[in-house]
Amino acid sequence: MPDPLISIITASLNSGTKLDATVASVAGQSVDYEHLIFDGGSTDGSLSLAETLAAADSRIRVFSQSDHGVYDAMNKAIPQAAGRYVYFLGAGDRLRPGSLTAIAGYFPEDPCALVYGNVFAFGRVYDGAFTPWKMTASNICHQSAFFGRRVFELCGTFNLKYPVFADWEFNLRCFAEPQVRKLYAPVIVADFEPGGLSYGGDPVFDRDRLRLIRQHLGLGRWALWSARAKKLLRSFGP
């Protein structure tokens, strides 16, 4: 069989019935895909649910093994993915109807690209096209991002040093790599479930953030970001 267009990867740990809704949103898509569910050792019955869903749909594959968090599970899943593009969808997130077909229309022939759209979260659409400057202040939501297979060959995988914002650090590497095309598609890809990992913050990433901006986006942007950050801090008083 030919390789699928998209490999959808879902890292799951004790996700309960949320996983069912996520898988259902994927099953309603009409593009050629595979869905890889990486379970980190669930004890709440969600692994059994995943295996039942896989038994009913040959496009679903389930893996169960311990990991060191969501990004470790995502790293372990990447070599198993057969698709031309790789997409990460969290348990509890839901694809919009027809969104994969819509964004696939923006995929270039050469799968050395980061193609991203929008998500709907917190009552609004997040967050339009990104420039290197915008990447210094906010991140592309991984529920909207599709990575060509060659991107991982050029940029590596997620750095487990950053337990919450490893995707942000990885996207900075993508923006720094000239061979990776960065393409924005005006498509709402998914409904992002609020809460979860990102709410805890990532002190390690915060500590390294200026260095990462300087390293990946250049000294000029680092200096500009620093100046604006200092101005903002001064506005709060001495």
Consecutive 10-residue averages of pLDDT for the chain (238 residues): 91 91 95 96 92 95 93 97 97 96 95 96 93 91 96 97 96 96 98 68 92 84 55 48
- Contact assessment for residue 185 and residue 115, using Cβ atoms and an 8 Å cutoff: yes
Pairing of strands 85-88, 145-148: antiparallel
Asked, for residue 145, whether it belongs to a domain, the answer is yes
Distance CA(60)–CA(54), nearest Å, equals 5
Distance CA(30)–CA(157), nearest Å, equals 28
Q: Which residue type, as a one-letter code, is found at position 176?
A: A
Indicate the number of domains in the chain: 1
Asked, for residue 119, whether it belongs to a domain, the answer is yes
Asked, for residue 1, whether it belongs to a domain, the answer is no
CATH number at residue 189: 3.90.550.10
Helix axes 18-27, 46-56, angle to 10 degrees: 20
Domain limits at 49? 6-234
Only one residue has tokens 């709060």, namely 236
Distance CA(63)–CA(121), nearest Å, equals 29
pLDDT for res 223: 55
